[in-house]
Amino acid sequence: MTKTTGKVIGVNGNMVAVKVEGDISLNEVGYVKVGEQNLKSEVIRIQGDTAEMQVFEMTTGIGVDDEVEFSGELLAVELGPGLLTQIYDGLQNPLPKLAEEAGFFLPRGLYMNALPRDKKWEFTPKVKAGDTVAAADTLGTVPEGIFEHRIMVPFNFYESYTVKKVAEKGEYTVEQEMAVLEDAKGNQHSVNMMFEWPVKRAISSYEERLEPDTSMVTKTRIIDTFIPVARGGTYCIPGPFGAGKTVLQQVTSRYADVDIVIIAACGERAGEVVETLREFPELIDPRTGRTLMERTVIIANTSSMPVAAREASVYTAVTLAEYYRQMGLHVLLLADSTSRWAQAMREMSGRLEEIPGEEAFPAYLESVIAAFYERAGVVRLKDGSFGSVTIGGTVSPAGGNFEEPVTQATLKVVGAFHGLDRDRAEARKYPSIHPLNSWSKYPGVVAVDKVDFARSILSRGDEVGQMMKVVGEEGTSLEDYIVNLKSEFLDAVYLQQNSFDPVDAAVSVERQNYVFDQLYDILGSILELSDKEDARHFFNQLRQHFIDWNYSEWDSDEFKENEKKIKTLLEQKQTGLMEEAKRARKAAESKEHSNA
Amino acid sequence: MRKIYSKIERIAGNVITVTADNVRYDDLAVVSSKYGDSLANVIRLDGPKVSLQVFAGGRGISTGDEVRFLGHSMQVSFSEDLLGRIFTGSGRPRDNGPELDENMIPIGGPSVNPAKRIIPRNMIRTGIPMIDVFNSLVESQKLPIFSVSGEPYNPLLSRIAMQAEVDMIILGGMGLKYDDYLFFKNALEEGGAMSRTIFFVHTASDPVVECLLVPDISLAVAERFALEGKRVLVLLSDMTNFADAMKEIAITMEQVPSNRGYPGDLYSQLAARYEKAVDFEGSGSITILAATTMPGDDVTHPVPDNTGYITEGQYYLSNGRIEPFGSLSRLKQMVNKDTREDHRSLMDGMIRLYANYKESLEKKSMGFRMTDWDNKLLKYGQIFEERMMDLSVNIPLEQALDRGWEIMAECFTPEETGLRTGLLKQFWPNKEDLN
């Protein structure tokens, strides 16, 4: 079969128009030949015999009549053992390998194999000749770091097949034949450890998709307790610059209770990726005792790298996530920032001279964002095991204003919203998630009735605070003043967290529940305080002890000592428990009973 | 010999269109009109039609003028001879010195591989306490100076140019008033820093296309010097003019505008320039400081907004001072742990007290009663602004830290500062106050 070819007839920014001879398909990959270089491009619109292609490289030097060769394949990634620990660009080129080859800079037109070809993997077969298999069935396994990597029937094998031959236990490279499968018509297909999958198609080789109902613990208190994320769920973090989106994502990538983390640095600062990729190989994952890098894949398409590849990078990342989900693993995909991806779409849409929507974003922005987040989910696989892909995306709204198209389109499809707040960030409160504006539809780790009570204190305290700005402290009643102090206390000792402190940076579910109970006791207390001065003094003391408590190691002597200090101090002033607090506790307890 | 085309089919603003063959995207051409020659570069190919933006502008170009393609994209000469010289945005001398045409290098080269970047680690001292003490500048950092027209951002840049501990300075001026250009030139000549400086200057009266070239040409030269082991500081003023020049060209090319008329790729275009800031392992580095005026003092305007998402913090210059709030050097914690042991704590303590001062000031203006503590804070705030924040203060870091302690001692008792006892014992000026 001869390959379809074409000739360049126009260049506009990173888009080229090509006159094509033969058949091509949408999203097909082609290469523009400029001198010695072949520049990877993707077909994004076809009109008659003219194809418009976005070039994943700088277009300098492309001229009319330059040759274009089409591959016949959609933009795809390589799937197989060896993905973990890698640092890829948006098109799955391994960046460290590129650096070995080309030095400091990213050369144009140099593409490398995503999976190492020379590495040998210890294969253990799980099927035998004569077995019947279908797409995504496990043929055998290889150990990849701490995981058992399933070698599966490629997902694009849509029929059922009889195993004719399977490799014996032993060491093989990814390109060696692992099995021969025969379809109903008697055609034989050779299968090795790796195969390609088009990034813009969701992988759906599972039995059924389930409701995300288990919390994905991030060990950040405000998230797990107040605005939780579920395994297989989606959440977004919009925030103005400097609000700490990236820091929050970095912390999540370290502590999240999942098997694999895929970080898509999409159009953001290169410096931030550098921190991750220099530090992760040294940090030990407490769950496994191995370095964090062993459970991580980084897709880095930073802001100065070609824009078209930025658009591809989020799809590359989610495809890798889906692939590992097929092995019964829980995967977290962190995309930073989805706004840059949306902007990449806007740039292309402008060059295609499409009719612009709001703020010149294309009209299909919402459906594209929805389709991306919908690739998250928890699924039951054919072998009965469960796997999940959780997606967390940051959004960088222009001017920090959430009323813009990307934030709004994202809010429509996600299950949790962690809105970062400029005022909280400037007051150096970390995390700067606004506790009242943010929401989540997922179950948290602490009983919901108790959390609701705490939230009500928070919002009432906030109201009092607003009022106090106008009428001053003098014009506020002692009762209101105490509510305000309670809400500030809750903020200081629970919502805020010190990510630099080794203990406070990550708080287990067990500890969150324990500490929250004590906090609940304080928030629900009726307190005997003589005046405002007395009240402020009391809460200052209490805060000091509580923060010390947060910094002391779980269940250590220091921990117990600080706890005692809090209890003693509280007993001096506590005269009883508020009715609402009693009610909420009772409701929480009765639910616990019925569950047990 | 390359063909000469003598039929210009369309002239709109600074963009001309000719029918030509064998032309490549981004190629350079010479347009000869009766007002002289100008360079132009290809910005769109559509079949045989070639659109070029003319560096000297479209005014006075006739449909019969000659266009000669050079067969390469924009280049600049690179050698030690550049030092002490002043050029235009297209690399021509503006100081009556000789034209340089040896060792031409392309501009706007590829981006640095993230895997080759390293975590920044060296501080650049400037002698300005609000930078050195409170928001240290770090080698390979990219920082804008957010400001409004009328603020002394250019004098600030020229002071940094003279005092910063780097090997060389590249100053890229975009849309500079002619006076400002002369100011930079005189200030650096008098300060004796000219010999380590290269100017690429576009003044407000020069053709707008040249404005677009200034960051690229400055950074291309900076990159080469950095690869030769030089620590280069690139000063750009004013990036808002650069963005406005982009807007102008985009509108001329009938591109769909996104926010307030700016092209949709504003973020990518700015990022492509700022991300040139880098520390080459085993070689030199590029650090970028860029004045960015905020139209209407509005930080949510597309230019400062997009810039903030790209850069590693920002300095706010208002009322002739670098504001401690809002200003942020994201990389400072990488370096201020290794300067002097009191640096971090003193920095935090002084800023905390200054924030309290602001609250007291607000209370005072609303007519609330002033306590003793409020009065102490008011005194502190005033002294702090006078002896630390004022831009004329010019002292090395260690001296600035000592001065910080003196100011604190003048206003407060040791325990009122909320600083650790160990530090107080070591640094508090009047030891009798302790106990």
Q: Give B259-312 pLDDT, tens digit per residue.
A: 888 998 899 999 999 999 999 988 999 999 999 999 989 988 999 999 998 999
| CATH 1.10.1140.10 domain extents, chain A | 448-595
Distance (Å, whole) CA B169 – CA A584: 65
Please enumerate in sequence order all residues whose Cβ is within 8 A of that of B48, keeping only pairs 6 or more positions apart, or say none: A64, B19, B20, B21
Peptide bond into A555 cis (omega under 30): no
| Band (B87; pLDDT cuts 50, 70, 90) | very high
CATH code of A121-193, in short, is 2.40.50.100
B282 interface with A at CB cutoff 8 Å? no
Beta strands in B74-219 (DSSP E): 75-77, 86-87, 104-106, 123-124, 137-138, 142-147, 168-176, 197-203
Chain B residues within 8 A of A58 when measuring between CB atoms:
110
Mean pLDDT value across residues B1-10:
85
| CATH 2.40.50.100 domain extents, chain A | 121-193
Residue contact A302–B258, C-beta within 8 A: no
Distance (Å, whole) CA B78 – CA B97: 15
Domains of chain B by start residue, with CATH = 4-73 (2.40.30.20), 77-335 (3.40.50.12240), 343-433 (no CATH)
* Placement of tokens 């996530």 in the chain: A321
CB proximity under 8 Å: A 314-353 to B: 340, 343-344, 346-347, 349-350, 353
Distance (Å, whole) CA A14 – CA A16: 7
Chain A residue whose CA is closest to B114:
A270
pLDDT at A596: 60
Q: With a cut of 90, say whether residue A334 has pLDDT above it.
A: yes
Chain B residues within 8 A of A472 when measuring between CB atoms:
368
Tell me the pairing of strands A160-166 and A177-182. antiparallel
Distance from CA of B223 to the nearest CA of A (A): 11
pLDDT tens per residue across span A306-331:
888 898 999 999 999 999 999 999 99
Mean pLDDT value across residues B120-145:
94
**Percent of chain A with pLDDT strictly greater than 90:** 77
pLDDT at A335: 94
Residue contact A350–B264, C-beta within 8 A: yes
| CATH 2.40.30.20 domain extents, chain A | 5-74
| Band (A1; pLDDT cuts 50, 70, 90) | low
Chain A residues within 8 A of B286 when measuring between CB atoms:
none
pLDDT tens per residue across span A39-70:
999 999 999 999 999 999 999 999 999 999 99
**Percent of chain B with pLDDT strictly greater than 90:** 66
- Mean pLDDT check: name the lowest of A313-317, B47-51, B344-348: B344-348
In this structure, CATH architecture of domain A5-74 = Beta Barrel (2.40)
**Strand partners of residue B73:** B27
Mean pLDDT value across residues A386-408:
93
In this structure, CATH architecture of domain A79-106+206-440 = 3-Layer(aba) Sandwich (3.40)
Residue contact B25–A104, C-beta within 8 A: no
Chain A residues within 8 A of B302 when measuring between CB atoms:
398
Chain B residue whose CA is closest to A7:
B47
Q: With a cut of 60, say whether residue A411 has pLDDT above it.
A: yes
Chain A residues within 8 A of B114 when measuring between CB atoms:
87, 95, 265, 270, 273-274, 277, 300, 302
| Band (B10; pLDDT cuts 50, 70, 90) | very high
Interface test with chain A among B49, B70, B72, B116, by most A beta carbons within 10 Å: B116
Chain B residues within 8 A of A61 when measuring between CB atoms:
24-27, 73
Mean pLDDT value across residues B351-368:
87
Q: With a cut of 90, say whether residue B220 has pLDDT above it.
A: yes
Taking the CB of residue B151, how many other CB atoms lie within 10 A of it? 21
Between these two residues, A187 and B434, which has the higher pLDDT value? A187
* Closest-CA residue to A361 (of A301, A310, A408, A308): A408
CB proximity under 8 Å: B 151-190 to A: none
Q: Nearest CB to B110: which of A9, A108, A275?
A: A108
- pLDDT averaged over every residue in chain A: 92
Residue contact A105–B110, C-beta within 8 A: yes
Tell me the pairing of strands B27-33 and B49-54. unpaired
Between these two residues, B299 and A379, which has the higher pLDDT value? A379
pLDDT at B435: 61
HEC profile of A69-100: EEEEEECEEEECCCCCCCEECCCCCEHHHHHH
| Band (B333; pLDDT cuts 50, 70, 90) | confident
| CATH 3.40.50.300 domain extents, chain A | 79-106+206-440
Residue pairs between chains A and B whose CB atoms are closer than 8 Å: 170
pLDDT at A506: 92
Distance (Å, whole) CA B402 – CA B27: 57
Burial of B274 per CB tally in 10 Å (0-12, 13-18, 19+): buried
Q: With a cut of 90, say whether residue B228 has pLDDT above it.
A: yes
Residue contact A61–B24, C-beta within 8 A: yes
* The one-letter amino acid at A111: Y
Distance from CA of A349 to the nearest CA of B (A): 9
Distance (Å, whole) CA B32 – CA B429: 71
pLDDT tens per residue across span A542-552:
988 998 899 99
Q: Tell me chain A's radius of gyration from C-alpha atoms.
A: 28
Chain B residues within 8 A of A273 when measuring between CB atoms:
114
- pLDDT averaged over every residue in chain B: 91
Q: With a cut of 60, say whether residue A34 has pLDDT above it.
A: yes
CATH class, A448-595 region: mainly alpha
